[in-house]
Chains A and B, each alone.
Chain A
């Protein structure tokens, strides 16, 4: 089993926590902040070299990212809007990672969650069921569809030993195909000739904006869920069992922990988060389910989770950072005449550099505290 779920924040460091020495915890924790930040800097430098080689100005690029993502009140709201699905899809990677699984099916769970929510809305909207009830049912369906999808990958991992990384990505392709099948066939809204979509849920049924902002409630939901999952994973017996299983599945079995149940449960939690992201995309942005749901949030979420070292709390700022990068994509594209895949190159590069930076852990004396020597 892949060992990707190292303890992530000071609170998880057993030896240090037992001593209760705040200074020790900060020093250990600093490593988990410093190295990802270092990786971000290195990938920015590499990306600048890439741009220079193409005759583009890196200064202009980062200036545009700043302006397009964080420069004005409007762009900040746009960024936060895009951070919401990123927080949720990153949680969909982080939770299974804590139990030692590299699950990358967030995109599929998001698409199916959004699709399920849009489908269940059709009869409810037609029957003039009050919006709050409709939205609750939609959210429940979206969550359930996502949980089912990622949970399936988790079940296959446990029951049959099917590699979860491959199966979850395959399930993503299957999920998108299922949506396309229904959206272009039986459930197509024939009044909309432009793009195959399901019936729109209508403005009256859309999720509203948070008071005083232009950002929908998905952001608040994502932040609350991140905090809840942080507490669940780091402060409860369940979280402790998950961490033991992630660290050493054999030891967990020997302890009599229900390893299979824990794995499936973690995966279902993960899928639920991604499915919820799909629900918000449908109920707060798109208003219907169509191919736009597969916009890549699930894949960017993988990177966000790894940068946050699978710590739910750290996911929030990282998701906002990447929400900004995604949000500024259009501006960068127009002003610098760069293809839309520029953001994809930056993300891929960051991801590679970040994973390579894993090798730095435990190499710097300044972070090391005697008695808490590296475990790997």
Chain B
């Protein structure tokens, strides 16, 4: 049954989607939180790269990949904190700051990461979702990492918290109407600062996944636009954490088509399939940006789709 190239490709895509989607998921959830508070952080691409580098270096020095994940999150808090702080100053444009943070984060990562391109650091472990089939090929294809589960849990908790907790309400209110938040005695700047820093933490963890699990090494070409695509993905997910997970899986699948076809010997158009996620993102933005649905769900204070 598994000899059929179609099934091999299918499982490779499903397995690839599970692997590739995790960084998308974390960045999208981080951006979702930030945007819910009414601010856009376009710099998460830089956070992702810096997180990947920090995680790899920490894992290399301490021998513990999970410490690396934590360090990546802290790096994300650092960049997110800068973004969150300076955006509260008058006349500072959050989108432009995002571009600057993207360059700054990438620059820092490449600067400090130079010496970690060669050495091999301990990676995160994995377990298989396909053991029960008793088929080794499927079991290998469906190997996943604990961070995927963590990501889904974060999404569930976020969705629940937005709907049911006081904190969730405060974040949503800040995002929908700053004057209303101020009237309620909420510090808009503080909420946005915390939301951006926490969003940075999640994006950093997404970076840790890149360097410590899949592809599982550190180099300068590790992320090319995943962070940015994840930001675009939040619009598609209509600022809903659970939909961010679904959208991330979809993107993971799009990204896995190329390698999956390669695994059965179809190498033609490799670069085209490499570009598939970007093209998909663009198409999704075209389809969703101007739609009435998006206009209804967008946090009122957000500048990104106006």
Give the number of residues in A that approach B within 8 Å (Cβ atoms). 49
B87 CB to nearest chain A CB (Å): 9
Query: Does B229 contact A170, Cβ atoms closer than 8 Å?
Result: yes
Chain B residues with Cβ under 8 A from A338's Cβ?
111
| Chain B contacts with A in 229-243, Cβ cutoff 8 A | 229, 231-232, 235
The verdict on A102 contacting B99 (CB below 8 Å), with A2-B93, A167-B285, A356-B86 known, is: yes
In whole angstroms, how far apart are the Cα atoms of A173 and B303 in the complex?
A: 24
- Residue from the set A2, A184, A306, A340 with the largest chain B CB neighbour count within 10 Å: A2
Of the candidate stretches B119-127, B168-176, B199-207, B272-280, the one touching chain A is B272-280
Partner of A355, one of B90, B100, B281: B100
The verdict on A163 contacting B275 (CB below 8 Å), with A339-B110, A341-B107, A356-B92 known, is: no
Chain A residues with Cβ under 8 A from B105's Cβ?
348
Partner of A2, one of B46, B96, B229, B274: B96
Write the chain A residue with the least CB distance to B104: A348
The verdict on A361 contacting B91 (CB below 8 Å), with A173-B224, A339-B114, A344-B110 known, is: yes
Partner of B108, one of A162, A303, A348, A356: A348
B103 interface contact, C-beta 8 A: yes
Chain B residues with Cβ under 8 A from A354's Cβ?
100
Query: Does B96 contact A4, Cβ atoms closer than 8 Å?
Result: yes
Query: Does A174 contact B282, Cβ atoms closer than 8 Å?
Result: yes
Query: Does B275 contact A178, Cβ atoms closer than 8 Å?
Result: yes
A169 interface contact, C-beta 8 A: yes
B259 CB to nearest chain A CB (Å): 15
Chain A residues with Cβ under 8 A from B224's Cβ?
173
B229 CB to nearest chain A CB (Å): 7
The verdict on A181 contacting B269 (CB below 8 Å), with A166-B42, A355-B93, A359-B89 known, is: yes
A376 interface contact, C-beta 8 A: yes
Bits for A334-366, please: 1 = Cβ < 8 Å to B, else 0. Answer: 000011111011111101101110110100000
In whole angstroms, how far apart are the Cα atoms of A354 and B98 in the complex?
A: 13
Chain A residues with Cβ under 8 A from B1's Cβ?
none
Chain A residues with Cβ under 8 A from B97's Cβ?
352, 355-356
Partner of B272, one of A167, A181, A302: A181
A55 interface contact, C-beta 8 A: no
Query: Does B111 contact A339, Cβ atoms closer than 8 Å?
Result: yes
Query: Does B100 contact A352, Cβ atoms closer than 8 Å?
Result: yes
Query: Does A163 contact B271, Cβ atoms closer than 8 Å?
Result: no
A340 CB to nearest chain B CB (Å): 8
Chain A residues with Cβ under 8 A from B82's Cβ?
352
B243 CB to nearest chain A CB (Å): 18
Chain A residues with Cβ under 8 A from B278's Cβ?
170, 173-174, 177
Query: Does A170 contact B272, Cβ atoms closer than 8 Å?
Result: no
Chain B residues with Cβ under 8 A from A368's Cβ?
none
Query: Does A359 contact B275, Cβ atoms closer than 8 Å?
Result: no
Bits for A131-171, please: 1 = Cβ < 8 Å to B, else 0. Answer: 00000000000000000000000001000111101110111
Chain B residues with Cβ under 8 A from A163's Cβ?
232, 235, 285, 289, 304-305
In whole angstroms, how far apart are the Cα atoms of A347 and B275 in the complex?
A: 28
Partner of A358, one of B42, B92, B269, B305: B92
Write the chain B residue with the least CB distance to A354: B100
Chain B residues with Cβ under 8 A from A345's Cβ?
104, 107-108, 111
In whole angstroms, how far apart are the Cα atoms of A361 and B91 in the complex?
A: 8
B191 interface contact, C-beta 8 A: no
Chain A residues with Cβ under 8 A from B158's Cβ?
none
Write the chain A residue with the least CB distance to B98: A165
B212 interface contact, C-beta 8 A: no
Write the chain A residue with the least CB distance to B271: A181
In whole angstroms, how far apart are the Cα atoms of A359 and B88 in the complex?
A: 10
- Residue from the set A169, A344, A348 with the largest chain B CB neighbour count within 10 Å: A348
- Residue from the set B98, B103, B224, B229 with the largest chain A CB neighbour count within 10 Å: B103
In whole angstroms, how far apart are the Cα atoms of A170 and B110 in the complex?
A: 21
Query: Does B92 contact A355, Cβ atoms closer than 8 Å?
Result: yes
Partner of A348, one of B100, B274, B303: B100
Chain B residues with Cβ under 8 A from A341's Cβ?
107, 109-111, 114
In whole angstroms, how far apart are the Cα atoms of A173 and B279 in the complex?
A: 9
B106 interface contact, C-beta 8 A: yes
Query: Does A161 contact B228, Cβ atoms closer than 8 Å?
Result: no
Partner of B103, one of A4, A181, A185, A344: A344
In whole angstroms, how far apart are the Cα atoms of A261 and B85 in the complex?
A: 38
| Chain A contacts with B in 275-301, Cβ cutoff 8 A | 299
B254 CB to nearest chain A CB (Å): 13
A3 interface contact, C-beta 8 A: yes
Query: Does B282 contact A342, Cβ atoms closer than 8 Å?
Result: no
B248 interface contact, C-beta 8 A: no
Query: Does A170 contact B225, Cβ atoms closer than 8 Å?
Result: yes
Query: Does A165 contact B106, Cβ atoms closer than 8 Å?
Result: no
A263 CB to nearest chain B CB (Å): 15
Partner of A162, one of B107, B109, B225, B289: B289
A306 CB to nearest chain B CB (Å): 7
Chain A residues with Cβ under 8 A from B222's Cβ?
none
B290 interface contact, C-beta 8 A: yes
In whole angstroms, how far apart are the Cα atoms of A341 and B305 in the complex?
A: 33
A180 interface contact, C-beta 8 A: yes
A1-B306, A165-B42 known; 20 other A-B pairs, CB under 8 Å? A2-B95, A102-B93, A161-B289, A161-B305, A162-B286, A162-B290, A169-B225, A170-B229, A174-B282, A177-B275, A177-B278, A181-B275, A342-B111, A344-B106, A344-B107, A344-B110, A345-B108, A348-B104, A351-B103, A355-B92
Pairs A-B, 10 closest by C-beta atoms = A348-B104, A344-B107, A341-B110, A177-B275, A181-B271, A351-B100, A161-B290, A339-B114, A359-B89, A348-B103
8 CB contacts below 8 A, A to B, read A2-B303, A102-B95, A160-B285, A162-B286, A163-B289, A348-B105, A355-B92, A356-B92
Interface, chain A (partner B; CB < 8 A)? 1-4, 102, 104, 156, 160-163, 165-167, 169-171, 173-174, 177-178, 180-181, 184-185, 299, 302-303, 306, 338-342, 344-349, 351-352, 354-356, 358-359, 361, 376
Interface, chain B (partner A; CB < 8 A)? 42, 46, 82, 86, 89-93, 95-101, 103-111, 114, 224-225, 228-229, 231-232, 235, 269, 271-272, 274-275, 278-279, 281-282, 285-286, 289-290, 303-306
